[in-house]
A and B are shown apart, each in its own frame.
Chain A
C-alpha cells in the first residue's frame, strides 16, 4: 500500500524544509517493516511538524500543542497491537510538552517519538525554541538567544530504560537505520532528527538558502564511533 498523502490533504511545508526528508525516511522505514494501515498510526502535535501526521495515508491524529505524547500513550494502551509513532517539533516536545516527555519516557511506554529538531517555532514566525543554540538570532532574540539549549539526550537517558537516537536530514539512509532500531526497541524510543527551517530560522541567521543550511549542519555532525557513547555532535543511538 502507499502511505503517501491522504486524498485531498496537501502539505503546507516550505521548499527546503527538513520535514520533507523526515517524512520520506519515515515512509521508507514503514515500507521496510511491511506495515499496512492496520499496523501503524501517526500522532503529531502542533506547528509545521504537527501537520505531518495528516499527510500519512493511515489513521492519524493531529493533537493539541505539546500533548501528542499523551494521546499517543492513551492510544497505545488502548490498542497495544498498533505501532504508534509520534512526529513533532522541539518546541512541542521539549517546551509546552516537556512534562509529558519526562513521564511518558519514565513509564517506558512502547511508542517511538521522532523530533523534527529545527530549533525554532517555525509556524508562528520564528521565535526562540528550547533547542535554539545560544546566541542565535530569532524573532524574539534579536541580540541572540541568551540561554543554552535543552539537552534532550540527558533527559531521555536519565531513565533506567531508554533508547535515544540522533539522526540528520543530511543522511537519510542513516536516519532510516536509526528509525528502524527505534521502532524495534521494546519500550520508549526517541529519535532527535537534526533538521532545518530555512524560512524562519535560516533567513534571520544569515543563511542564503536551504542547501547552505544543510551544508553547515553536515559539517557540524559526525558519525558515532563507540556504540556505548553518543556525543552531542554525533549521529547514532544509545540504549539501556
Chain B
C-alpha cells in the first residue's frame, strides 16, 4: 500500500507494541499523532494524551513507562530542545521510551516545513549528563516501518530512551510499503509500578538509594546506565555499504539526502548508516583505507563529519545541504569541488 514516512513510523510503533502516546503538536511530526488517534480509536488498550507542551509530553511518557506501557513521543525542532530535560531523566531512570524527532530546519522556528539534519549531535549531547543514546535514521517509508520496530525493541532491550530520527521530506514522502514485521517483539523490561518498593530517582544512586557525594557510586551508576546501551547497540549494526573498486571516493550520507546520493552509486562508493549513533566505527574503519577521499553529505554544517573524522583520525570532507532544499546538481558540484 502507499503510505507516508510518518504513517509508516506510527504503524511500526503499533506493531512493536506501543500503547501510550503523549505529544504536543509541532510540524512536521504532527501527523504521527493524528495517525495514532485514528488507528487506535475505540480500543481502550491504547492511551493518548495531548499535553500542554513538550516538557509535559516526555515526562508523561516517562510516567506511562513506569506503568509498564510502551510509550513514545514524536516532536521536531524546538520541541526536541524542550524534551532534553526529560530525556536526561529517562536515561537516569533506565526505562524504555522512544523519542521520534522529525527534523526541520532551525535554529528557533527556522523553516518549519523544510528538511534538515541539524539535530544529530543534539541527540547525543542535548541533555545534561554524559551518556550515549542509541539513534536510528531510516531513509525510506519501508525502513521507517522496520526501523521503528527496531527502535522500540532496542528501547526495551537496553531499558533506555532510544531516538528515531526522520526529516521533513521523509515524513511526507509516499511510497509502497508492506506492514509485515520480521522481528521478534521485545518484552517490557521490568514489572510495572504498583507492586514493589522500588525508587526511581534522577539522583546518582545505587539501586535506588541516593548517594550523591561518592565518585565510585557515580562511576558504577554510569556503567550500569550505559552498559546495556553498548550491549544493545551490538545487535543493531544497521547500515548499507555499496563498495566501488573503481572509485577513490566514499560518500557517507543518511536520511532523505542518501536518496539523492544513491544515483551516483556507479561513480562513488556509498556508506549509509541507519544506526547513526553510537557511530559504526569498526565498520567504517574496515573500509576507509580503500578510499582516498571520504565525503559526508549531510543537512547541517558538518556535525557527522566531525564525529567520523575524530573516530578515523583522518581528514573527512563535508558537503553541507542546508536551507531546507536538497538540490542534486548542486550537491554533485560540491562533491566534485570537495575531492578535487
Contact = CB atoms under 8 A, between A and B. Distances in A.
A102 B203 CA distance: 27
Given A59-B194, A79-B193, A64 B59 contact: yes
A116 to B, nearest CB: 18
B195 A70 contact: no
Given A78-B69, A103-B56, A39 B194 contact: yes
A79 B62 contact: no
Contacts of B198: 59-60
Contacts of A39: 194
A126 B193 CA distance: 34
Interface string A195-206: 000000000000
Assign chain B's interface to a size class.
35 or more
B120 interface: no
Contacts of A51: 210
B51 A61 contact: no
B193 A70 contact: no
A79 B201 contact: no
A56 B51 CA distance: 29
A81 B193 CA distance: 11
Given A77-B20, A78-B20, A103 B52 contact: yes
Interface in A48-98: 51, 53-54, 57-64, 67, 70-79, 81-82
Interface in B168-203: 192-203
Interface string B40-79: 0000000101011101100111111111110100000000
A222 interface: no
Interface in B267-317: none
B193 A63 contact: no
A73 B59 CA distance: 9
A240 B174 CA distance: 50
Contact of A63 (B51, B52, B71, B202): B202
A75 B52 contact: no
A64 B85 contact: yes
| Interface residue tally on A, bucketed by range | 35 or more
B4 interface: no
B238 to A, nearest CB: 30
A41 interface: yes
Interface string A1-36: 000001111000000000000000000000000000
A82 B199 contact: no
Contact of A38 (B66, B194, B210): B194
B89 interface: yes
Interface of A is mostly: mixed
Given A75-B66, A99-B53, A63 B89 contact: yes
Contacts of B193: 41, 59, 61, 75, 78-79, 82
Contacts of A64: 59, 85-86, 88-89, 202
A37 B195 contact: yes
A8 B56 contact: no
A222 B22 CA distance: 42
Interface in B197-215: 197-203, 208-210
Nearest to A82: B194
Given A61-B66, A73-B63, A53 B199 contact: yes
A239 interface: no
The residue in A51, A54, A81, A102 that gathers the most chain B C-beta atoms within 10 A of its C-beta is: A54
A46 B89 CA distance: 12
A74 B67 contact: yes
Nearest to B203: A62
A53 B200 CA distance: 9
Given A75-B64, A82-B67, A62 B197 contact: no
Contacts of A76: 63
Contacts of B53: 99
A107 to B, nearest CB: 8
A62 B63 contact: no
Ordered nearest first, which 4 A-B pairs have the shortest CB separation?
A74-B63, A78-B67, A70-B59, A74-B60
6 contacts: A53-B199, A62-B202, A64-B202, A71-B63, A74-B62, A99-B56
Interface of A: 6-9, 37-41, 43, 51, 53-54, 57-64, 67, 70-79, 81-82, 99-100, 102-103
